[in-house]
Amino acid sequence: MQTNRRSSLSLLTFVFGLVTMGCVQAENPSISASGTDTTAPDTVELTISVAASAQDVMQDIQTAYQTATPNVAITYNVGPSGSLAQQISQGAPTDIFLSASDPWMDALEDQGLILDGSRQDLLLNTLVLIVPRNQPGISGFADLTTDRVSKLAIGEPDSVPAGGYAKETLISLNMFDALQTKLVFGKDVRQLMSYVATGNVDAGLVYATDARRSDQVEIVSTASADMHSPILYPVGVIATSNHQEAAQDFIDFLSSDPAVAIFEDYGFIMAD
């Protein structure tokens, strides 16, 4: 009888132990049976303000980066560099700014809004004269002052970097004043591309990277580098970002071999 009691007591102890272990694991689902913590790393959400002319390439960059770094979620705020800079200056929550213009980045840096040591020159671009595909009669800048062109699309010089570069180019060619009645201004390069592709204007001045990816427009001339300021894309971490380390890691990725291959496939030139 005493032996049976001992056996029953041992069995009860064993069962109680199993139940206790089950409760511990149920209360701590992140701990596996081996004692390893299986909790997924916290997701970091980065908001990145991106110049409109870099929108397409940055979508591919996002795919590549999130494949390698799945715990980072990226949201792009796309627009003209001037508008984006003004939003950041007014306190819009942003972690990274990729501008298509040095002056707009300079303005934020002067306000102390770019994290010290994070700014770098990332990309270079070129400015080209485009016309609707299969439209004869316009072969270069000299045709802009003739009756072959009644409307020329450029970006708003005060807010769209492409417009600023276009204005500089036309001034260097002594054409800007003469073309005033022909100019049609756009809010970004995408709008300029649409104006030309649909035939609403006879020609336009846009970035080569945008023109190369359209089958509706044709490049007829390229502005030489001495006609305008360098078309430079600087990038930097916003000083008020709550995720400065993750933001810097993303910027570092932009100079990696996979990212460089993507940029060059789109026709960008690496600045460094």
Model confidence pLDDT, tens digit, residues 77-118:
999 899 999 999 999 999 999 999 999 999 999 999 999 999
**Domain identity same for 85 and 142:** no
Average pLDDT over residues 194-212: 96
**Domain identity same for 69 and 187:** no
Each residue's pLDDT tens digit, 152-198: 999 999 989 999 999 999 999 999 999 999 999 999 898 999 999 99
**Domain identity same for 144 and 222:** yes
**Domain identity same for 219 and 242:** no
List the single range of 6-15, 136-145, 182-191, 205-214 with lowest mean pLDDT: 6-15
pLDDT at 138 > cutoff 70: yes
pLDDT at 6 > cutoff 60: no
Average pLDDT over residues 262-272: 94
**Domain identity same for 27 and 115:** no
pLDDT at 10 > cutoff 90: no
Question: Which of 102, 106, 114 lies closest to 231 in space, CA to CA?
Answer: 102
pLDDT at 20 > cutoff 90: no
Percent of the chain with pLDDT over 90: 79
**Domain identity same for 21 and 154:** no
pLDDT at 11 > cutoff 50: no
**Domain identity same for 151 and 162:** yes
**Domain identity same for 111 and 137:** no
pLDDT in the model for residue 192:
96
**Domain identity same for 19 and 136:** no
**Domain identity same for 35 and 49:** no
**Domain identity same for 119 and 239:** yes
pTM value surpassing 0.85: no
List the single range of 40-54, 60-74, 185-199 with lowest mean pLDDT: 40-54
**Domain identity same for 56 and 135:** no
Give me the number of domains the chain comprises: 3
CATH at 179: 3.40.190.10
Show the domain range for 28.
1-39
pLDDT at 69 > cutoff 90: yes
Pairing state of beta strands 72-79 and 217-222?
unpaired
Contacts (Cβ under 8 Å, ≥6 apart) of 49: 76, 77, 78, 79, 84, 87, 88, 92, 94, 96, 97, 98
pLDDT at 38 > cutoff 80: no
Question: Which of 208, 219, 141, 202 lies closest to 174 in space, CA to CA?
Answer: 141
